[in-house]
Amino acid sequence: MIDEKLLINWRRIFHAIPEKGFTEYKTTSKIIEILRDIGYQVSYGENIICAEERMGLPSAQEDKLAMDRALKSGVRSSFLEKIKGGFTGAVATIENGPGPKIAFRFDIDCNEVQEEESTGHIPYDEKFSSKHPGLMHACGHDGHISIGLGLAKWLYENTNEWSGSIKLIFQPAEEGVKGAKSMVAAGILDDRDYFISGHIGIFSGEDTIYTNIGDFLSTSKFDVNFTGKSVHAGMSPHNGRNALLAASSSALQLHAISRHGEGATRINVGRIEAGSGRNVIADKGKLVLETRGETAELNEYMVNEMYRIIEGIAKTYDVEYEFKNMGAATKANSSEELSKIAEKVAEEEGFKNINNKAKSIGGSEDASFMMKRVEELGGKSLYMVFGTNLAAEHHNRSFDFDESILKKAVEIYAGITRKLSL
């Protein structure tokens, strides 16, 4: 029996305590607490994260703020010492005799969005909106956590309905595609036959499920820092080296990269920072950007062109430059076999609209690294979208979803587990 009220309660607990990637301290602590209460042994910290593959870590100031907030909320300092610095998240495994080895993944981080605070926004009206200014679960990851915990409870209480080995992965830092690669590098998927994940919403619609999501774009995220020399703009501009102009010129030229004839390619400079005053030649400049490609090779083409252009412009303005890898994802598709199994389960669970045709969300997902790893070792992977009614689009301050989807998603995951155990 799946307790819908409990799922909703869990979702609301996590909705109120949003934390950005690799600072999910209170979130990780609460997930582990609930899993242990159910009866699980839980792995975390350096056991599930490869230090060398972490990307896009928060600044020291951001990390301290998040740790202080977690301490004030009651998280033990001894626990924080084990997960600080990019080691958040948790993995729980349950063994139940011979059978398939399945991994389910649930992302746990939030968005840097200020949540709506007005009547009509249900989290505000019912007093479970974000307690953390500037942070919000505006993408449904609070729901994903609840679904993962609900599945954990069902698995533990219904061992007569399935067999095999299930690994439940609560992944940090999905936003900006930063967290999955480091978990893959830690080897947590190297013993799995199947990998399964999904997302609430994206495509709205009550009782709608998409069982064959794929064509994720390969992507790379970078921060580019330029360093020049600041001088007085009136008295001695000839002695300066202008990082602002280097950054600005790079932004323009990057968007002029020729698109590739063999498939879709993208680049976007999302933010530019430079300068300190109107009479100062800027000695610092920064670009926050991303590349994407229909395949890993096409994305690599965009990255190489990015390197070439920035190197050339840096020489032109006589400034130094540094690249910082902030995130990445790769190409991935769902298994047709698993998609058909999910379709049958959705029919049995009463979904009215079931779409098993290959469908792209038009973007990237770092679960793609997990999908790819399992497939490299001979296994199969699946990514689904659980359609539901939305109050506003993803990453919007008024985002919210119909909580009835939580129980339905657990039922889908439980049903797939049963069928793979046959």
pLDDT at 370: 98
Instruction: Delimit the domains of the chain by residue range.
Output: 4-215+331-421, 218-328
Q: Indicate if the pLDDT at residue 142 is higher than 90.
A: yes
Q: Report pLDDT for 261.
A: 94
Q: Quote the pTM value.
A: 0.95
Mean pLDDT along residues 341-363: 92
- Quickly name the fold that domain 218-328 has: Alpha-Beta Plaits (3.30.70)
**Fold identical between 4-215+331-421 and 218-328?**
no
Summarised one tens digit per residue, pLDDT across range 73-113 is 999 999 999 999 999 999 999 999 999 999 999 999 999 99
Per-residue pLDDT averaged across 54-81, rounded?
96
Statement: residue 361 has pLDDT above 90: no
pLDDT-derived band at 207 (thresholds 50, 70, 90) equals confident
**pLDDT at residue 206, rounded to an integer:** 80
Residue 230 to residues 222, 227, 283, 380, Cα–Cα distance (Å): 25, 9, 5, 55
Residue 196 pLDDT: 98
Is the domain spanning 4-215+331-421 CATH 3.40.630.10? The answer is yes
For 390-411, what is the mean pLDDT? 96
Mean pLDDT of 14-24: 98
